[in-house]
A and B are shown apart, each in its own frame.
Chain A
């Protein structure tokens, strides 16, 4: 059990790499940096494979228990004396271990994170070759790997949260990698803060769990969830907990309404977008929800919420993706949309399907981004598809790999995407209740859109007429080996990864789902109960239903959708020359405008929350207060800054005004001033005239006398 016993080394490897880079990196040669960083991740990958293999062996003999190893107690005194009361009045010790847990779920993430991670590291060698801050970049990347691996391998929520925040930090650092660009650092801040909003939900959710279960270890939580029946009140709290967790997921996995940071995150270098904002980090939310499946299935409300949010996000983002011109933004929105798919899957209880989609998506989306990167590389930095075209022959490898990825994402069999996406749609359909049919429709339409915008991307980039300027065209060249190799590998994966989940209905044996059964089986069974499908408790029965004609029908339909999307894209863009016309624009300019402007969500946020935009001269939201207060500041509080930013900043200005003038003014300086004012009369009393003094004395005396004689 060499690997499994030393599984804790896996996250530490990149941690060392990252730390080394950040502390000593500046002095190192690029070669050394490559060896260290890429080497670390490579080792991690090897160890990961080893551990997973050993685990599968181990699990056979251990009734598919998760493998858990605890290094030391991280939070808490480990004496059991630092206790807190749980919801049922019992006493639970405050504790969170630095402990790792390996089970099918984490194994999958472990594999593709290290794997894709390694590829992207290799890719970066070429991509970043000419960038400054080389060591910094790789340091951050390694740090990210460390956080991500912690997140995956954590055996309790707190440690998961460590990775959770860690990846957030690394994405912040990497988005802001070109920190001299204001847009970059803005995007970085936006990402971190929006994530923090989600995280705060996550923290509270964690506390609810701790309060309910008296522990934050996944095994304990699952045990708690699985034990018999729960009182309605408990279920209420579980719902609260799961919803709060989902808030966290929304932040991290860019779901409505917190998705806004992801598109901006494209400010980062392309490999970062590929690794963090496509393949790995953004799927953390999915992982966390899947990890908590036992709890989620106890809270139908939460499940429905997840499903609906997921579906809406999916179609919402996809529709935006239809018209974007920046190649990376198209991919960004497609990522959001695919994440929506995953949540839809989780929401309908098809955890395995969701995870499967994460798995496949990791490959083809990473591939797409890297391909896009390669394209941009070739186009010497150009990202606008309107200025591309006809690159098919010029950069053939990129072209072929990207084409494969596109086929995969559009769900054309037998490419990976087909299997996962089809599974999700199918599961949605089979869920009882009309609501789910609506969700299915949404998903279906999304699939169509996906196919459309992806092929639009392909056609505008590789076919159609060249629309780039002369000298750009002159420089076009295929990317170096270090970039090509990963593309090819990923392409292969996107081609074959789907076979792992080859559905039974097509004569396969759904290895993937079977592999995950120990994690999800009871969960899915539970959903079925919730959905009143008492008849289908057992997986076996599911299989029969699985092979129903409906499924084939749906399968055909979804492929058809992909085909339709492809065809439409071909028709409108195959021969696009400079100044080509967007079909949607032709159909309805209004819609096009709305889509192009992303439904004006950012603007809306600016109107409502930040108030950075006016409605015919009238400012709503924070800035409304802001202007009022800044007027006030200008006229009352001298030298106060005018203008306002976020709602908090405005409130802050108000409160600081309050601070300076009310609390400090009346509360503190007030008495002082008053005293000084009183001091002068008190002194004036001292006229300096003897007789006045004598008079005062006498009056004092007489006063006392009168008081006593006549009272």
Chain B
């Protein structure tokens, strides 16, 4: 039993979960749309982290070809980029008409 710190999948999971929660909280609390956007990215990163960690984990079991997780992660990264682009585009269009980036002022449509 040498006191050497093993970083197991669980650690990654916990980290992922933490990121995820941070992201969620960010989405729920921040006023600035841009930051909300970033929080969403945070969530996606949590996902990526999970995927990569799991991919590692399963390689340990099925051998080195179990790359689905990593592939998925790559896709998600791409997707995140696309989302960001579109999101910012929409935000700009919005900003053009209503000089604000505060979510709580996005309240024309309701009830």
Contacts and interface: CB of A to CB of B under 8 A. Distances in A.
A689 B28 contact: no
B111 A690 contact: no
Contact of B24 (A684, A686, A688, A698): A698
B91 interface: no
Given A695-B28, A698-B24, A698-B28, A689 B103 contact: yes
A683 interface: yes
B104 interface: yes
B108 interface: yes
A694 B36 CA distance: 11
A694 B110 contact: no
Contacts of B36: 690-691
A687 interface: yes
Interface residues of A, number: 11
B15 to A, nearest CB: 20
Contact of B111 (A683, A695, A698): A683
Contacts, number: 31
Contacts of B29: 691
A566 to B, nearest CB: 97
Contacts of A698: 24, 28
Secondary structure dominating the interface of A:
helix
A495 B27 CA distance: 118
Contacts of A688: 106-111
A354 B33 CA distance: 108
A686 B110 CA distance: 6
Nearest to A702: B24
A413 to B, nearest CB: 101
A206 B27 CA distance: 86
Contact of A691 (B104, B108, B110, B111): B104
A691 B32 CA distance: 11
B43 to A, nearest CB: 11
Interface in A665-707: 683-684, 686-691, 694-695, 698
Contacts of A684: 111
Nearest to B109: A688
Contacts of A694: 27-28
B109 A691 contact: no
Given A683-B111, A684-B111, A690 B24 contact: no
Contacts of A686: 110-111
A116 B54 CA distance: 118
A691 B107 contact: no
Given A695-B28, A698-B24, A698-B28, A690 B110 contact: no
Given A689-B104, A694-B27, 10 more contacts: A686-B110, A687-B107, A688-B106, A688-B107, A688-B110, A689-B103, A689-B106, A691-B104, A694-B28, A695-B28
Interface of A: 683-684, 686-691, 694-695, 698
